[in-house]
Chains A and B, each alone.
Chain A
Amino acid sequence: MTTMTTTTTTTTTTTTAGHGFWRMAYLGFCALVFAFLIAPILVIVPLSFNAEPYFTFTEGMLRLDADAWSLRWYRQIMEDEEWSRALANSLLIGVSATVLATVLGTLAALGLSNPAMPARRFATGLLISPMVTPVIISAAGMFFFYSNLGLAQTHLGLILAHAALGTPFVVITVTATLAGYDENLSRAAASMGAGPLTVFRRVQLPLIAPGVVSGGIFAFAASFDEVVVVLFMGGIEQRTIPRQMWSGIREEISPAILAVAVFLIVFAVLFLLTVEWLRRRNAR
């Protein structure tokens, strides 16, 4: 018995000693990966305040000279008519597509969550497919099809296209929220005299609202970041922010797009925090 205990203790000590080194290596490796994930996004922020039209830190910036830093690129995008029109287009297309996707997606999720739904797996597969189809294929197909209908180079065409690409996000998030919904609540409401619409409006919707809103945010973010469909189907009149950035990156590279990028990062963080907050609310 005594010998047994001794051996166990020795093994434990050696493994802990081994752990120490490996644990440091493991943590160091993870730190590098986190840096890889986040540093490229952070580096854009200071560079957008560059006083010079360069994409890198000037010596003045490193010495923290006040002159080397400026708001000129922010001023430029604020005053530029093309950027403000792009923002208006992005908002119009994004909001309309989101409303459409959220309403249709929520209804479909209600149906898909019902075990009685016929061909449930197949229907889910079809409805999620816009999310996994390579966007170049969607864009090419939509270009042919929408051109025939006279919807290419119109706002309506882009709204419909973006709504189609955004619906899977709504279906997924709302279905996930509905998985935690207690069907007895609907039954209870119905037993006390509420019609199906009232049950949905007064009982079910308030409870699944966090999922619906999250889905809407996902759909909006997808539209707000979509460039390939706009590239193929949109004309000059339909240029959105990502489309404008695309030309910015390809043609006349200027730090003005870094200033836009900072705005988009701020948007992304706001979306992220809202969705996480809703998720936590829903979990409670």
Chain B
Amino acid sequence: MSGPQRVKFYQTGTFTVGNRLLDVSVRSVQSDRSRNNSLNSGHRACQGCGEALGARYALDAAMRAVNGKLVVANATGCLEVFSTPYPESSWRVAWLHSLFANAAAVGTGMAAAMRVKGRHDVRVIAQGGDGGTVDIGFACLSGMFERNDDVLYICYDNEAYMNTGVQRSSATPAAARTATTPAVGDQPGNVFGQGKNVPLIAMAHGIPYVATASVCDLRDLEYKVEKAMGFHGARYLHVHVPCPLGWGCDTGDTLKVARLAAESGLFPIFEAEYGEITGRRAIRKRVPVDDYLRMQSRFAHLFKGRGDPARVAMIQAIADRNIRRFGLVSEGAPA
């Protein structure tokens, strides 16, 4: 991005998240002056951090849904590090960080403690990044699902280990450049593996509620958190959160990049109950994956010189498959 952005005013007559001119009943949680500010300002996240945005919206929505009776277990990672440089803390919720791999199990323990102490009003969220969720924390996550422990697990997926300098995780997309999948050689960037779709794996556990969301649609994120808190048992929310530093996009483009991920079909947004898909967020204006990829320097090698149309086509095929599989485009899509 170059040059100043033209500032647009959305407030009047729109449904945008910050709009306080709407009727109270349809205002977002975040537009409410009495919101909890669960992740308060002053933390040390990078400019344009998608994870900070997602966590703030998610936890504020959860706090409202459960009347402030919330405790949070946090995995090691960006979210933990940037929010709690000793002796400061940005958390305005009861918050515990233990380790990288165990947030789901710590959540289980907190839920058990609340049950045994008769604190049936207190609800538990465990949260972490993609590394702490789909890689190193995966066993604890699956165990929590299988036992159907009363925990909502939120994964903020920025598609790599950003805190330690952008290394590949199993959520890193094909062809993306990271510190451990450099853009060199015949097949630059990350491998085209089989992928690891943790929302689908969560659904395979048959747990009450699984959803994906993105910071590109913060109302949808709030809605899903609120809905998740309406269930008891294990729940999973997978939130797509761009990382300008790791993805190599402009810090002012976080939401735009997130939107293109959703609108291209690369990040399907859907929800499921007890293992069955019950809703999807339809793509409003389908875009080719090129539009998404070209905004990020982690994919720059796909477009340098004569480009790499073959591998871009492979990425497009992934998006097309998502669109078919989840019915993201209404025309002729399976219900």
Do A and B associate with each other? no
Interface residues of B (CB under 8 A from A): none
